[in-house]
């Protein structure tokens, strides 16, 4: 039993070792940004609310650390260290809600504002990614010709996340496409997998992440797929001082190449770490089940052994009681026979007289 317990402790320790994060923006080193007096006043004015939602690779929930993480989160932490800006992360249900929150003044900043310059202030790009066409596996070979030769009768349909850069990008393509908006990336992939839409757009690492999460190979990146280069910007409420954009841009542009690589590498590690953590968790569950089963078997055997001992003791007790009763019976019989003999002798003596 002690051996099994030791195995469980070792598994816990090994699982926790995978939780180590290679890059933490709070520990990142870099030059402190020089700000004007007015910019410093803006920095110290308040803690700015950042509207976030689960949207890998920019924001995702790390269950191991019980907190949100991602490229946008780490970039904001780096900007905070370099400029002194303070942020408070506010969770919303989906991407469109984060944009609406900034538009309505409920939040100050959103992490995705590439196509929303009319309703919010837009910072310089903090991340550039390549997006690919994601299709159902059976469409991977003929997809390119179908896409390039699309016309008004082709009735192509594309599913995108409502409020995302891809939603706006689809409207600028030179083909007739029916755009279906959904709330989450995983919903978009499911729509393509079940045939409700022909394709979606996604960067390869995020696609790989969701493939692992869905445990499916029904979706693939289209062969010879057209590649779209997409930039990501923070969006700031129009109600904020325009000088805040300057502070943000100073922070973004001060992030060096090595820091950017570390931030992106952390996301890639999370993609491969999560399935491994799920596998380790499965091993841990199996070990715990074995531990419980062994303990139950041991308990049953102990109960059966006690019952056997109880049965043996019961038999011995019955035997000893039976023996005592027999001894008592024999003594009573001897006593009765002795009394009967005495009475008989008295009777014979009286007769002789």
pLDDT at 340: 74
Same domain, 207 and 297: no
- CATH number assigned to the domain comprising residue 203: 3.40.190.290
Q: What is the pLDDT of residue 50?
A: 96
Q: Are residues 10 and 80 in the same domain?
A: no
Tell whether 206 and 69 lie within a shared domain.
Answer: yes
Average pLDDT over residues 56-70: 84
pLDDT for 56 beyond 70: yes
Are 123 and 233 spatial neighbours (Cβ–Cβ below 8 Å)? yes
Both 71 and 103 in one domain: the answer is yes
pLDDT at 16 over 70: no
Q: Please report, for residues 78, 159, 189, 213, 224, the alpha-carbon distance to residue 133 in angstroms, rounded to integers and kept in the order given.
A: 32, 11, 11, 19, 9
Mean of the pLDDT values across residues 331-336? 76
Q: Evaluate whether 247 touches 83 at the Cβ level (below 8 Å).
A: yes
User: What Å distances lie between residue 241 and 39, 45, 48, 131, CA to CA?
Assistant: 9, 11, 12, 33
Q: Are residues 228 and 314 in the same domain?
A: no
Question: Which tens digit of pLDDT belongs to each residue from 265-316?
Answer: 777 776 655 544 455 556 767 888 888 888 888 888 888 777 777 776 777 7
pLDDT band of residue 5 (cuts 50, 70, 90) is very low
Whether residue 94 sits in one domain with residue 230: yes
Amino acid 168: pLDDT = 66
**Rounded CA gap, 166 and 168, in Å?**
5
Mean pLDDT of the chain: 77
- The total of structural domains in the chain comes to 2
Residue 217 confidence (pLDDT): 82
Same domain, 140 and 82: yes
Mean pLDDT of 28-50: 83
Specify the pairing of strand 87-91 against strand 109-110: unpaired
The answer to whether residues 118 and 10 belong to one domain is: no
Cα-atom radius of gyration of the chain, to the nearest Å? 39
Strands, DSSP E only, in the chain?
Answer: 48-52, 60-62, 67-69, 87-91, 109-110, 120-136, 156-161, 177-182, 200-203, 219-221, 228-237
Its pTM stands at: 0.64
> What is residue 203's predicted lDDT score, i.e. its pLDDT?
82
Residue 255 has pLDDT above 80, yes or no: yes
pLDDT at 19 over 80: no
**77 pLDDT exceeds 70?**
yes
CA distance 214 to 275: 11
Share of the chain above pLDDT 70, in %: 74
What is the structure's pLDDT at 133?
A: 83
Query: Which among 223, 255, 287 is the end of a domain?
Result: 255
Highest mean pLDDT out of 47-56, 124-133, 165-174? 47-56
Q: Is residue 260 part of a domain?
A: no
Q: Are 192 and 296 in a shared domain?
A: no
Same domain? 216 vs 247: yes
- pLDDT-derived band at 227 (thresholds 50, 70, 90) equals low
Examine the domain organization and report whether 285 and 235 are in the same domain: no
Q: Are residues 117 and 147 in the same domain?
A: yes
Torsion of CA 322, 327, 332, 337, to 10 degrees: 130
């Amino acid at each position: 039993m002690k051996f099994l317990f030791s195995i469980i402790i070792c598994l816990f320790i090994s699982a926790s070792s995978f939780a180590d994060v290679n890059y933490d923006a709070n520990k990142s080193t870099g030059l402190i940004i020089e700000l004007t007096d007015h910019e410093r006043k803006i920095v110290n004015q308040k803690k700015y609310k950042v509207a976030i939602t689960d949207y890998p690779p920019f924001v995702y929930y790390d269950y191991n650390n019980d907190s949100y993480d991602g490229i946008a989160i780490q970039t904001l932490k780096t900007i905070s260290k370099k400029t002194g800006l303070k942020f408070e992360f506010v969770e919303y249900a989906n991407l469109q809600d984060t944009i609406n929150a900034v538009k309505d003044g409920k939040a100050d900043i959103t992490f995705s504002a590439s196509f929303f310059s009319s309703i919010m202030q837009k910072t310089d790009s903090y991340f550039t990614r390549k997006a690919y066409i994601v299709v159902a596996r059976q469409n991977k070979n003929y997809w390119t010709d179908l896409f390039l030769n699309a016309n008004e009768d082709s009735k192509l349909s594309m599913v995108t996340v409502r409020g995302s850069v891809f939603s706006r990008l689809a409207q600028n393509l030179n083909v007739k496409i029916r755009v279906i908006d959904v709330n989450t990336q995983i919903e978009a992939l499911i729509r393509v997998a079940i045939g409700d839409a022909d394709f979606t757009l996604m960067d390869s690492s995020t696609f790989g992440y969701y493939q692992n999460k869905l445990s499916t190979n029904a979706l693939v990146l289209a062969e010879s797929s057209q590649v779209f280069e997409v930039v990501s910007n923070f969006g700031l409420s129009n109600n904020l001082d325009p000088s805040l954009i300057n502070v943000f841009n100073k922070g973004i542009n001060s992030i060096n190449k090595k820091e950017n690589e570390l931030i992106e590498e952390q996301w890639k590690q999370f993609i491969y770490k999560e399935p491994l953590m799920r596998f380790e968790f499965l091993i841990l569950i199996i070990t715990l089940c074995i531990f419980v089963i062994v303990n139950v078997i041991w308990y049953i055997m102990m109960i059966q052994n006690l019952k056997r001992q109880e049965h043996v003791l019961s038999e011995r007790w019955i035997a000893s009681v039976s023996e005592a009763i027999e001894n008592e019976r024999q003594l009573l019989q001897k006593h009765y026979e002795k009394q009967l003999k005495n009475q008989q002798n008295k009777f014979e003596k009286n007769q002789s007289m």
